[in-house]
Amino acid sequence: MTIRFPRALWQNRELCWRLAEREVLGRYRGSLLGLAWSFLTPLAMLAVYTFVFSQVFKARWGTLENQGPLGFAVNLFAGLIVFNLFAECANRAPTLVLANPSYVKKIVFPLEILAGVSVGSAGFHALTSLVVLAIFELIAFRGLPYTFIWLPLVWVPLILGCLAFTWVIAALGVFLRDIGQLVGVIVSMLMFLSPVFFPVSALPLQWQPILTLNPLAQVIEQTRMVVIAGEHPQASYLIAGTLIAGLACELSFRLFQKTKRAFADVM
Report how many domains make up the chain: 1
pLDDT confidence of residue 32: 65
pLDDT in tens, 7-65: 999 999 999 999 998 888 887 776 666 677 777 887 887 778 777 766 776 666 655 55
Contact 70, 160 (CB under 8 A): no
- Taking the C-alpha atoms of residue 242 and residue 238, their distance in angstroms, rounded to an integer, is 6
pLDDT confidence of residue 87: 95
- Taking the C-alpha atoms of residue 4 and residue 265, their distance in angstroms, rounded to an integer, is 25
Task: Let me know the angle formed at the C-alpha of 184 by 80 and 243, rounded to the nearest 5 degrees.
Answer: 60
Q: Domain of 222?
A: 5-266
What stretches in the chain show pLDDT beneath 70?
1, 30-34, 53-54, 57-69, 107
pLDDT confidence of residue 60: 60
Alpha helices in 29-63 (DSSP H): 37-50
Instruction: Specify burial of residue 204 (Cβ count, 10 A radius: 0-12, 13-18, 19+).
Output: exposed
- Taking the C-alpha atoms of residue 187 and residue 208, their distance in angstroms, rounded to an integer, is 20
- Taking the C-alpha atoms of residue 114 and residue 234, their distance in angstroms, rounded to an integer, is 32
